A and B are shown apart, each in its own frame.
Chain A
Amino acid sequence: MDLLEIFKDFDALERFPAGATIIEEGAEGNVMYVVVEGEVNVSLKGKILAISKQGEIVGEMALISSDLRSATVTAKTDCRLAPIDQASFESMLRHVPDFSMHVMNVLASRLQHAYEMIEH
């Protein structure tokens, strides 16, 4: 599934300059983002956990479990992101079958890499 292809011409792309905070850990969250251009850092308590790039998603966990933001996302470079709100997210899950498996694969990959960080 190529999210970049789906969202690159999105009307409501949001721009963030390098260094800007996009998502703040502990805050409430009701939107996720697809990174259309640039890179973002994902961190928790000041420690960088991951870098998300073009075509990747961030912020989906708060939509999945209606919880507070699990991590801070900051713009590593100038970037443009496509926002997806709760309703759009659930609509995509229901009507685009590959999308739910795509999100699962993203979470599974992150989980595996997180386990590898602990092992090494």
Chain B
Amino acid sequence: MKFHHIFRNWKDICEVDAGQVIFAEGDPADAMYFILSGEVELNLGGESFAVESSDGMIGETALLGSGSRSGTATARTDARLARLDREQLRQLMGSDTDFALHVMAGFANRLRAVDTFISTHLGHKPRDAG
């Protein structure tokens, strides 16, 4: 609940029911979501990959501004989400360094999980650091 104050008057709030698909693999990645309440499960190729709850984020690769969803996000419980596009995130991060660090930590944790998945499941084909 640490960053909820940022979204107190947010215009773009989504309320989803348990079981609802928030976005599906292959959908255009146009925004990310900050979780205000509830739990959301991320699936990669049908395999459960992560569960995010309050103060967590999903859909963060949308920050690159283009591309499609790599996985499917499904609400495990009724949930309340704040939807953010790239520009909105840039403004929030610019005005709140603690929030910027929190978002970065979320990215870093996701990257750790994906890298671990790669190193345990796949061969050693290198990816471009970008």
Contacts and interface: CB of A to CB of B under 8 A. Distances in A.
Interface string B85-112: 0000110011001001101110111111
B122 interface: yes
A30 interface: no
Nearest to B122: A117
Interface of A is mostly: helix
Contact of A114 (B64, B94, B100, B118): B118
Contacts of B93: 100-101, 104
Contact of A56 (B107, B117, B119, B129): B129
Given A47-B118, A49-B118, A105-B64, A113 B128 contact: yes
Contacts of B119: 44-47, 49
A115 B5 CA distance: 32
Interface in A96-118: 97, 100-101, 103-118
B67 interface: yes
A75 interface: no
B127 A108 contact: no
Nearest to A50: B129
25 contacts: A44-B115, A44-B118, A45-B120, A46-B119, A47-B124, A48-B124, A48-B126, A64-B101, A64-B107, A64-B108, A70-B112, A104-B89, A104-B104, A107-B111, A108-B64, A110-B129, A111-B60, A111-B111, A113-B127, A114-B115, A115-B44, A116-B70, A117-B122, A118-B117, A119-B70
Nearest to B70: A115
B24 interface: no
A71 B124 CA distance: 14
Contacts of A114: 111, 114-115, 118, 127
Nearest to A108: B63
Interface size class of B (residues with CB under 8 A): 35 or more
A108 B121 contact: no
A109 B64 contact: yes
B61 A111 contact: yes
Nearest to A39: B129
Given A65-B108, A67-B112, 4 more contacts: A93-B101, A115-B44, A115-B70, A115-B114
Contacts of B111: 61, 70, 107, 110-111, 114
A8 interface: no
Contacts of A105: 63-64
